[in-house]
Amino acid sequence: MALKTYLTSTEIQRMIDAAPCLRDKVIIMFLADCGCRVTELISVKVSDIDFEKEVVLIPHLKVGISKRCPGCGRTAGSRQRFCSRCGIDISAVMVEGTEERKRIISIGTETLKVCQEYIARRKNKTERLIPITRQAVGYRIRELAERAGLGGEIMINPETGKKHYVHSHSFRDALCVDWLSTPPEGYTEDESRKALQRHLGHKRFETTARYQKITVDKVQKISNVIRSKRFKKKEVPKPLLSPTTGLP
């Protein structure tokens, strides 16, 4: 089986086509189109979607944002291992606190059409667009991947070598790969990166930069070009012919 590091647009479309109901189709289309987190998806309300302007208000609730040094009381980041003031090891300290912020991002016309149809047909008239749990969304994604021929641990993390099933973050990865590999015409690469940072809801560009990875396909193409230059057969130059006799 081929090693996969991210989903292609064709594979995502196969999952959309495999959806047995409108709700499941909305889940895949929304995640693939907006690149939002699954916790953001299940928090979106119908009133958060502006169908006319084609934008959606994405709520972002982040839990466990900081920790406090037991030695001096200084606040540190959730991933910080040592206190910047007294230097003691705080890697085992429990993180705490919450941070809530929102962002407005664009959403595609086709995704909105399916959302409207789903909202009109569903019997449960709840405020939430997808009124199920995070775990239930994960279960639906795995089943749809199976239906689309993408079952099993087919995804591989090139940094750790670990394999995993298709999950909600796979669509966020796919969006980032496409976004960063093909800057839109008329915009600089820097503008495209900053737009992605805002779209994903990252406070720092360093977080967005983690997605700026050269794909395996691109690495292979570049290495093949270099390989052809290094190992191509060198043609032996033919001896020059005499202009008078036609002999060497």
Helix intervals (H) in the chain: 9-17, 22-34, 38-41, 109-121, 134-147, 168-181, 189-200, 205-209, 216-231
Coil vs helix vs strand at 93: coil
Torsion-angle region of residue 35: left (phi > 0), alpha (psi -120 to 50) or beta?
left
pLDDT in tens, 115-170: 999 999 998 889 999 999 999 999 999 999 999 999 999 988 877 788 999 999 99
pLDDT in tens, 196-220: 888 888 777 666 666 655 455 666 6
Neighbours of 236 (CB within 10 A): 6
181 pLDDT exceeds 80?
no
Residue with tokens 């394999």: 163
Q: State the Cα–Cα distance between residues 233 and 66, nearest whole angstrom.
A: 60
pLDDT of residue 215: 58
175 pLDDT exceeds 80?
yes
pLDDT in tens, 49-86: 999 999 999 987 665 667 889 999 898 888 788 998 89
Phi, psi of 54, rounded to the nearest 5 degrees:
60, 50
User: CB burial class (10 A; 0-12, 13-18, 19+) of residue 39?
Assistant: middle
pLDDT of residue 212: 58
pLDDT of residue 245: 47
Residue with tokens 């495209």: 192
pLDDT of residue 234: 52
- pLDDT band with cut points at 50, 70 and 90 for residue 179: confident
The answer to pTM > 0.75 is: no
- Average pLDDT, integer, range 81-107: 85
Residue with tokens 């820097």: 190
Q: State the Cα–Cα distance between residues 116 and 122, nearest whole angstrom.
A: 10
User: Tokens representing 223?
Assistant: 């290495």
1 pLDDT exceeds 60?
no
Whether the Cβ atoms of residue 68 and residue 101 lie closer than 8 Å to each other = no
pLDDT in tens, 6-51: 899 999 999 999 999 999 999 999 999 999 999 999 999 999 999 9
